[in-house]
Structure 1
């Protein structure tokens, strides 16, 4: 956890979803959430909510949002943001031990915690807490980073330091456990990368039903200038349409930079 805290203490999260691949991740996550969330004013728990990017949009749509994150720098940004002043609560906390009552929410978002919990028991605890806090019929949306997508990411950057990243790549693919031993910039911090089938099993193991996977960025990860494409309304709709078309294609799950698992209580 210390490596993760150090990574995020650099305050790199606040603009991640406004540049590069993050633009596609944000657009596609909101696209899927718009189809699977109950209508407002439902109560949503945004667990591991970063600097409030999704909470901000959900508030605009009329939801009651409880925000929780483990990083003090993120909570500081959220509490200072005037667009987030209407949060139902903003808490420094842990996905494995939520401060919310049983059956108190209509939806729980885990858009980051599962890929920062390296132990299967910790991921199970986070999903158990999401299940506990949901009302019957409530929905969970949990994001992962697939192991193969990590390799695609290395190749998309032209393997900047093969001597450093190859051992990381091979270890992560074989074990799921990602480490950046020297804490180098440009590489992710300590994490767990799934095989997509693992997420299905974890959600079902927590008791969730009707579980489905959604490839988020999918083929859009191949775009060289993501900002230019998404700023063109015609091209943006083309990208979104293609991603929707392929979002349940099992052949896409492995290389999509993020996959969203959705289930119901």
Structure 2
């Protein structure tokens, strides 16, 4: 194994016992960022070029696309339609699966409009469906960005959002100790264990309101050997650090009525050799 020169640990989305899952990246994901896949940006160029109507479904766990036969938590239906000569519409409907009952509930509805076959959307609407009939709506149109919180009767309650981390920053400073512990643990594994390092690992760490547990999903490169000594040691080190990270109130999101929601941190770990 090549000597490790540096471990890069980066928190990108902000936001004890854990539930864990792991999978390799799909071949498609090697060509496109995971976020691009989630919002359909990986296929929009072809759809615009072909002026093609489409309907397809993707499944996700921890934000990572998985096969429909695998364990999944979120189902997203994509509907593309040519609505005018120079205008294309892409609709997304996201539903979350209840872990206990398997029932699906509406989570997010989105709409993007593209003009003159350009892959940058000119109009974006996202609606997040919350408890008590609240809906948080975000609209991007040109250079304008509008957020509002709407109640079950359609009354606009405010122009900042329903969820606290929509209008206040997540306290990232509170994660410094956790990041340092994670980096140290991974560095120790790399310097003491044998085997091939992956180019990267992406951690999806979800604070689960109902179970009061961490849910952990790990994403590795497509060709990486899951089950190898290095893989096992890396996973064990990550789990150990997370087990020692106390789940606090600030890890959750909260709406204006006081309801709490799961919140996910995405942690890309890149290895420079």
**TM-score, structure 2 normalization:** 0.25
Highest CA radius of gyration, 1 or 2?
A: 2
Q: TM-score, normalised by structure 1?
A: 0.25
